């Protein structure tokens, strides 16, 4: 059995609805095609698809990856996406591994290349083919779900191997930014973290730039390079996605939800919500609850 076939079988056998597994940081997904885009907040991780494909939108940038390819995400980002290449009723099958900055940093110091100079154009997402060595390590990590007694010792070792393969592969420049304390991604991530925690609060670019240790103009340029959005667009996307979660899980007064996420004007909240999700808040939330 080739690696992709084995990975498909392992994912189908062990995936759960919440995607979590007994191995910390390892996620498995079985997803059917959907007519509407899925909006979510990512975290730093690597995703390898074993079947199907996915198209992700980050701001104005579009990323596509298919079976045998991988996606690397290096920051907390609001993305929209939908699955592709899922014909004949076949679902998309994928695995994801959370990228821990401490592990990346340790391996960066041991890598056989000089530490890269900070690049102003380092985006927080990239796609590439998964080579044979990376696929082999991914399969061995997922296979540990069938040998729980081995997982405690071997899973951290294979996690390091996967990150090493990424660092020494075509996505090395992207992954390396996670582990470098002086990378632009690290500085911008401070501002991203603040926005995610305080999305309902007024935002001042000067204060975010100071948090990132940059001038306002430099910060704005690097923030857009990493996230494909301006800080204001990023905050707005976080606000609207949080509002959507609130309306789906606890439907209530729409104006009150809009106020909770930072909108003083109910009409502005409804207008921007509809522009992003294609329907007014109440109608969109009802549709999502019915489909769930």
Q: List, for residues 14-50, the tens digit of each pLDDT value.
A: 999 999 999 999 999 998 776 667 888 889 999 999 9
Do 30 and 93 meet the contact criterion of CB atoms below 8 Å apart?
Answer: yes
In the chain, pLDDT over 70 holds for what percent of residues?
92
**Global confidence as pTM:** 0.84
pLDDT category, 250, cuts 50, 70, 90?
Answer: confident
DSSP 3-state of 199? coil
Question: Percentage of residues in the chain with pLDDT exceeding 90?
Answer: 65
Give the pLDDT confidence score for residue 112 in this predicted structure.
64
**CA–CA distance, 45 with 156 (Å, rounded to integer):** 15
DSSP β-ladder status, 125-129 and 92-98: unpaired
Q: What integer pLDDT is reported at residue 193 of this predicted model?
A: 92
Q: Residue 239 corresponds to which tokens in the numbers above? A: 């606000």
pLDDT attached to residue 1: 64
Place of tokens 């109910």: 266
**What pLDDT does residue 134 have?**
97
Check if CATH label 1.20.1630 holds for domain 239-291: no
Give the mean model confidence (pLDDT) for residues 194-215. Answer: 94
Distance in angstroms (rounded) separating the CA atoms of residues 272 and 278 = 10
Radius of gyration of the chain (CA): 20
- Measure CA of the first residue to CA of the last residue in the chain; give whole Å: 36
Domain 3-99+122-175 matches domain 239-291 at the CATH topology level: no
d(Cα 187, Cα 33) in Å, to the nearest integer?
37
Q: Of the given ranges (18-22, 79-83, 152-156, 213-217), which has the lowest mean pLDDT? A: 79-83
- At residue 115, the pLDDT reads 46
pLDDT in tens, 207-226: 999 999 999 999 999 999 88
Q: What's residue 114's pLDDT?
A: 43
Mean pLDDT across 238-246 = 93
Pairing relationship of beta strands 125-129 and 53-58 according to DSSP bridges: unpaired
What's the confidence (pLDDT) of residue 33?
72
Give, in words, the CATH class of 3-99+122-175: mainly beta
Q: Which two tokens stand for residue 76?
A: 């907390």
Closest CA to 76 of 27, 35, 41, 40: 41
| For the chain, domain boundaries | 3-99+122-175, 239-291
């Amino acid at each position: 059995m080739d690696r992709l076939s084995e990975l498909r079988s392992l994912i189908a056998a062990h995936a759960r609805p919440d995607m979590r597994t007994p191995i910390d940081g390892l996620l498995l997904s079985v997803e059917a095609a959907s007519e509407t885009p899925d909006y979510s907040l990512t975290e730093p991780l690597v995703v390898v698809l074993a079947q199907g494909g996915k198209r992700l939108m980050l701001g104005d940038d579009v990323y596509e990856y298919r079976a045998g390819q991988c996606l690397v995400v290096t920051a907390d980002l609001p993305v929209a996406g939908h699955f592709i290449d899922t014909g004949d009723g076949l679902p998309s099958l994928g695995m994801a591994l959370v990228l821990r900055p401490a592990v990346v940093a340790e391996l960066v110091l041991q890598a056989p290349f000089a530490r890269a100079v900070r690049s102003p154009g380092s985006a927080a997402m990239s796609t590439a083919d998964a080579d044979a060595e990376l696929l082999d390590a991914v399969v061995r990590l997922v296979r540990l779900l069938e040998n729980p007694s081995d997982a405690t010792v071997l899973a951290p070792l294979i996690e390091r191997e996967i990150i090493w393969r990424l660092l020494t592969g075509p996505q090395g420049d992207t992954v390396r930014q996670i582990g470098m304390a002086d990378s632009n991604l690290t500085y911008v991530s401070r501002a991203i973290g603040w926005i995610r925690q305080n999305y309902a609060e007024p935002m001042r670019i000067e204060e975010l730039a100071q948090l990132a240790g940059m001038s306002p103009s430099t910060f704005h340029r690097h923030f857009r390079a990493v996230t494909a959005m301006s800080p204001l667009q990023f905050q707005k996307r976080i606000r609207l996605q949080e509002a959507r979660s609130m309306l789906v899980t606890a439907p209530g007064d729409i104006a009150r939800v809009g106020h909770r996420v930072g909108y003083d004007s109910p009409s502005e909240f409804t207008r921007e919500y509809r522009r992003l999700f294609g329907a007014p808040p109440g109608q969109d939330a009802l549709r999502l609850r019915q489909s769930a």
